[in-house]
Structure 1
Amino acid sequence: MTMFASVADFEAALSSLPKADAASIAEAAARQASLTKPAGSLGRLEDLALFFAGWQRTARPALARGRVAIFAGNHGVAARGVSAFPPEVTAQMVANFRRGGAAINALAAAAGLELEIVALELERPTADFTQGPAMTPEECLRALQAGARAAAGNIDLLVVGEMGIANSTAAAALSGASYGGSAGDWTGRGTGVDDTTLQRKIAVVSEGIARHAGHATSAFELLRRLGGREIAAIAGAVLAARQRRIPVMLDGFIACSALAPLARHAPDITAHCLAGHVSAEPGHRRLLGALGLSPLLDLGMRLGEGSGAAVAVNLVRSALAAHEGMATFEEAMVATAS
């Protein structure tokens, strides 16, 4: 059965979000308390183990199979001169991903993750959102469905990333329309634009937000009016993963912007999500705060592709290895604290 066959399906899924299993979290916490270490001494690694316990519904979670899904789409707003690169680069980079030559190929392999590339109608960019909605309802639903398919199968973790020239412009517009503030608060240099291009980009974001104010009254409308196919696909993947109780590792600003419209209407959508890192894009830290997410890493990365999230998966593997592999005080015959 196709997930999100209609807008009503999407809205129903967003209004009915499964919860983590509290009993499994409690059992995992009891195990943590019994391991040969001072209480809390592994910091956030302990939190990660409990997080996975809750979503896997077991006191001893594992990461046997993780998947990176990279969604690619082109944006009509690129014609406004908001990027340092032409739209043709999107397809060129998709080809590079498929040949195995990009950063995400190396980083996914290092983290023991399978890699799936989903190119979304690259020959047909979205419409310029300063002139009207970026997508028709049907186009947005197709993108949501493509994202949901990437969350299918027996996986323990989904990592989401993106590729799309001008998609940091769409991400800034989505974030601003979802959480307010000026366009300048959300708009950064993206691929490394100069000062003149940055000011033009801010103006385009402001124009887009104003153009759709009053019309973008739902998560779906925000996505279709200001987003892109790859951003909508990430939203679909995250929501489908939640319905399947699969944890999600988010990448940078663009990937997180896909959650902004959803979280404005259903703040708990982020409960099964981890922020892999905070990127150098200035709006990302602000957006993470709005989403209530604390990044695992702060490495100054701004590549996209799911690269920062893939690196963070190594922390998850460390957390689960310690949770599973350490001896208890009783097993090691080590005295506990008095």
Structure 2
Amino acid sequence: MSAEMSLASGQQPIPSFETLASLRKALSQLPQGDTRAAEAAAAREGMLTKPPGSLGRLEQTVAWLARWQGRYPPAMDRPQTCVFAGNHGIAEAGVSAYPPVVTEQMVLNFERGGAAINQLSAELGASMTVIPLDLARPVKNFLHAPAMTESEFLKAFNAGMHAVRPDASILCPGEMGIGNTTSASALCLALLGGPAVEWCGRGSGVSDDVLKRKAEIISEAVERHRESIDDGLDALRILGGREIAAMAGAILAARLLSIPVMLDGFICSAAALALYCSGVDPLAHCMVGHASMEPGHRRLLAHLGLRPLLDLDLRLGEGTGAVLGAILAKAALRCHLGMATFAEAGVDSGAA
């Protein structure tokens, strides 16, 4: 490990990984959060002027924030959106409705503040980090060869780790990359099995013929590489993209930095799947903002044991669903901290 992230005094430095072996070791010994902070949140919930449990998952969200920030009360004062962009060799197989140049054009749009994620991040009060990853050099077409070498994969993974601000109160990862729903579907097929067609969706809006071809390509590619895939990191290196690897890195860095993560849609969740299949409970610090219109997303979340906060028919990516989930978390915390207790309000707690 090398190239440590600069942190505030008292915080542990975030490493860069030089080998997959060192990354696998880190995934086997992760911090477990602060249960006392979560218990303190639950204790206050029981004193607030409402029937017990009446705010449902909003109450659970506050306890989650407290546990993974490692403090009570938690805060939502410094949320961060990270959007990673990468290009895919598999796009040359015609699996997307748009050409790869759109990835670069959208990065410029993000940087100018013109995308949906910019507006939602502003509403949350989040700083927005945009990380383009070697856009002029797409990863290899995984139908013919592994998408990335080990060094290429680790470079992207480490870039994701070091994009996370150590003082962030919550992390909302997102992505942009023409062809990346094909990579996400291939990851799910390789790691979870089942028919390829059940993991495939229309992505950017492809036709029936392209959708059928997309499933065939995914099935063929996974079969070609099957003997080389032992865990999620192998699958991500061979079938993924730089932006998906970077999201996985950001999710891991957040765990090490005591930052809760709000996951986005199908592609972000596929990045999380790679960690899930490579470590010991590596997603305990994650919630899911929404259920994507991509048909594979609900199947994937069922395997991960994660329940989305919202179901809004979104299929944009960029981190939009993650930020909407974080806005809910911010509202939940405001209720928790701003509501009066029964004693403060002079309300008989037996009447609620």
TM-score normalised over the length of structure 1: 0.98
Paired residue secondary structure (1:10): helix
> Please, which of 208, 214, 232 is the counterpart of residue 219 of structure 1?
232
8 Å CA contact retained: 1:134, 1:226: yes
Quote how far apart the aligned CAs of 1:311 are.
1.5
The secondary structure found in structure 2 opposite 1:36 is: coil
Q: Residues of 2 paired with 1:211 and 1:69: CA distance?
A: 33
Q: Give the number of aligned pairs.
A: 338
| Among 109, 122, 130, the residue aligned to 2:135 | 122
Q: Please name the residue that 1:170 is paired with.
A: 183
CA contact (8 A) 1:5 1:145 kept: no
Q: Is the 8 A contact 2:87 2:135 kept in 1?
A: yes
Would you say 1:271 and 2:284 are equivalent positions?
yes
User: What runs of 5+ residues in structure 2 fail to find an aligned partner?
Assistant: 5-14
Correspondent of 1:91 among 80, 104, 112: 104
- Residue matched to 1:27: 40
Rounded to whole Å, the distance in 1 between the matches of 2:281 and 2:258 is 13
Query: Would you say the 8 A contact 1:13–1:243 is kept in 2?
Result: no
Are 1:141 and 2:154 an aligned pair? yes
Tell me the residue number matched to 1:284.
Answer: 297
2:255 counterpart SS class: helix
Separation (CA, whole Å) in 2 of partners of 1:115 and 1:9: 30
**Segments ≥4 residues shifted beyond 4 Å:** none
Residues 222-256 of structure 1, C-alpha deviation per residue, up to 9 Å, x if partnerless?
A: 11101000000001110111111210111110011
Match of 2:257 in 1: 244
Within the candidate set 137, 148, 151, 2:164 is matched to 151
Letter in 2 for 1:323: H
Displacement of 1:267: 5.5
**1:87-133 deviation digits (Å, cap 9, x = unpaired):** 11000100111111111111110111110000000000000111110
Other-structure match for 2:29 = 16
**Secondary structure, counterpart of 1:321 in structure 2:** helix
Distance 2:165 2:326 in 1: 19
Cα distance in 2 for residues equivalent to 1:157 and 1:27: 19
Assess if the C-alpha contact under 8 Å between 1:262 and 1:269 holds in 2.
Answer: yes
Indicate the RMSD between aligned Cα atoms, in angstroms. 1.1
SS of the residue corresponding to residue 296 of structure 1 reads strand
Deviation at 1:54, TM superposition (A): 0.8
Whichever residue aligns with residue 138 of structure 2, its letter is: P
SS at match of 1:258: helix
Decide whether the 8 Å contact of 2:191 with 2:231 is kept in 1.
no
Cα offset for 1:59? 2.9
AA of the residue aligned to 1:305: E
- Partner of residue 68, structure 1: 81
2:222 aligned to which of 191, 209, 217 = 209
* Partners of 1:147 and 1:234 within 8 A in 2: yes
Question: Which of these residues, 315, 320, 331, is aligned with residue 318 of structure 1?
Answer: 331
1:181-220 CA-to-partner distances (Å, cap 9, x unmatched) read 1111101100000000001100111011111112111332
What does residue 305 of structure 1 align with?
Answer: 318
Partner of 2:211: 198
- For 2:68, the aligned partner's letter is W
Matched AA of 1:115: M
